[in-house]
Structure 1
Amino acid sequence: MSSGVPDAEGVTLLDGEELLHNVRPSWSNWSGLIAILTIVTFGTLGLGIVLFVIPWLARRNARYVVTSERVIEKSGILSTSTNEYRIEDIRQLQTGASWSEKLLGHGNIQFSTGAGGSLITFAGVPNYDGIANTIREQQRE
């Protein structure tokens, strides 16, 4: 058995697997936290600046990856966790965007593996319709 090929910023691809999308979630996923931190910053500049590192690190370490075989969500600041589904196991795919997300040019993709199955959400995704269409095309193959 041969080892996977490292790629996609910390996500190891399987042999023969092709990287199709590799995106980070939008900053707006942390807008509430950023708003609170902005208020804190007015009171104590040093503490506020330190606290801005939290959403920056969270976004920097978050990844939504779509390959020819899997969809993968990677997240974590101090520790890392991943959720992944084989594309062939996805039974439901939903996309959507609120009016504010549309203004910002991103939306959400939600996957499930069927009745009572697991649920994974890619939130704040640029080109969410294009990524969803890529997944649909991979399911047809």
Structure 2
Amino acid sequence: AMGFLYYNFNPARIFMGDTGSMFLGFMLAGISVVGAVKSAATIALIVPILALGLPILDTTFAIVRRARNHRPIFKPDKGHLHHRLLAHGFSQKQAVLLMYVVSALFGLCALALTAVSIQAAALIILLVAAAVFVGARKLGILGMDAPQK
């Protein structure tokens, strides 16, 4: 996947198809199931969700935003994270690199959850939740003012 990102960076020269994305999803699901045997059940459920935190949160915020605005949840808008970053003055490459860094931080937090005590895991989860809330408020993702397409 890391080798693929080089060719998929702006301007993209190749794109991952359905087979590639389904394979990666299958591998992540398989790894999370194997990981569930080695740790506490709650942490085992949180680790894959945290590792995929950016796309999960972006989708969740989009559904909540559209529902609060009484719009169909399948209707596109310009309220996604990458649109918000572009609206705040980031270039296309800067927005993508920032999203890579955030995804990497989510992944590192997920890995840390598997190696620390329950108290430290709870602290990590609270810190991540606070950082997500502050970041979402700063970018206006939680607001009702989603720009329209």
TM-score bracket relative to the smaller structure: under 0.3
Which structure has the higher relative contact order (CA within 8 Å, separation 6+)? 2
User: TM-score under structure 1 normalisation?
Assistant: 0.24
User: TM-score under structure 2 normalisation?
Assistant: 0.23
Compare the two structures and name the one with the higher helix fraction. Answer: 2
